Amino acid sequence: MKGRTPTTAQKHFHDDLCRHIGCIACRFEGGFNDYVSLHHIDGRTKPDAHWLVLPLCGGHHQDNGTAVAVHPYKARFEERYGAQMDLLRWCIEWLQQRDMQVPDGALIAAGMIEGT
Residue range of the domain that includes 101? 21-109
- On whether residue 88 sits in a domain, the answer given is yes
- On whether residue 11 sits in a domain, the answer given is no
- On whether residue 46 sits in a domain, the answer given is yes
pTM summary value: 0.94
Closest C-alpha to 74, from 25, 31, 33:
25
The count of domains in the chain is: 1
- Looking up residue 104, the CATH number of its domain turns out to be 3.30.40.190
- Residue 4: the pLDDT is 80
Query: Residue 61 and residue 17: Cα distance in Å, rounded?
Result: 15
Closest C-alpha to 106, from 1, 12, 21:
12
Q: pLDDT tens across 10-52, in order? A: 999 999 999 999 999 999 999 999 999 999 999 998 989 999 9
DSSP-derived 3-state class of residue 48 = coil
